[in-house]
Amino acid sequence: MTIKNKWIIALVAIGIIGFVIVEGVVNPRIEAKHTQYEADQQHPMTHDFTALQKYHSPYMGDFSNLSHLNQALPLHDQLNGYQLYPETFTAQVNYSLDTSEMDKEDLEQILVYNATANFVLIDNLEQVVYQFEDTSHALSREAAQQWAGTELKALQDPVQWDSVVRSKLEKPAKVQEAFSQIVDN
């Protein structure tokens, strides 16, 4: 066997070993991290708020931005369209979900989190209506700001967001209190 053939065999062996390592170790680890990240995005306490910063907009009429923002929030897998009401600065977010299928506390926590994120990142949005198959909930900017106890613009900073919003949503009693304060209906 010539040196050239030995080099070819060595390079093929290295290629095969590299392929096995990438497909057998590296890719499964990347996929596991991605799967865990996606699972974390379904709950307000583990959701990555910093990923939402790119959706900040001064106008609720930017439908594409509003759509992408809500597709990055918890319950995004149940989204079923939107309706904008520019005369009242209201966005209706439709879900293909019966609320009886969810734990009441989890639903309330998600709605407060999602609505607050919408108000923080869309400057002129005044009300969000979450329409489910069996009910609807309207949440207002003014009530969210009173609940937060600070200007909503200040919550664009992820540290502020965590200290104000997440800390107020940690305990079940605080979730119920927040939901009853923010919901208009």
The stretches of 85-125 forming alpha helices (DSSP H) are: 104-121
In a shared domain, residues 144 and 60: yes
pTM score of the predicted model: 0.84
In a shared domain, residues 31 and 94: no
- Give the containing element (helix H, strand E) for 21: helix 3-21
pLDDT at residue 185 greater than cutoff 70: no
What are the pLDDT digits (tens) for 118-173?
999 999 999 999 999 999 999 999 999 999 888 999 999 999 999 999 988 988 88
In a shared domain, residues 60 and 127: yes
| Structural domains in the chain (count) | 2
- At residue 90, the pLDDT reads 95
In a shared domain, residues 28 and 83: no
Query: What is the residue range of 60's domain?
Result: 49-182
For helices 172-182 and 104-121, the axis angle rounded to 10 degrees is 60
In a shared domain, residues 147 and 67: yes
In a shared domain, residues 130 and 162: yes
Taking Cα atoms as reference points, which of 138, 114, 136 lies closest to residue 126? Answer: 138
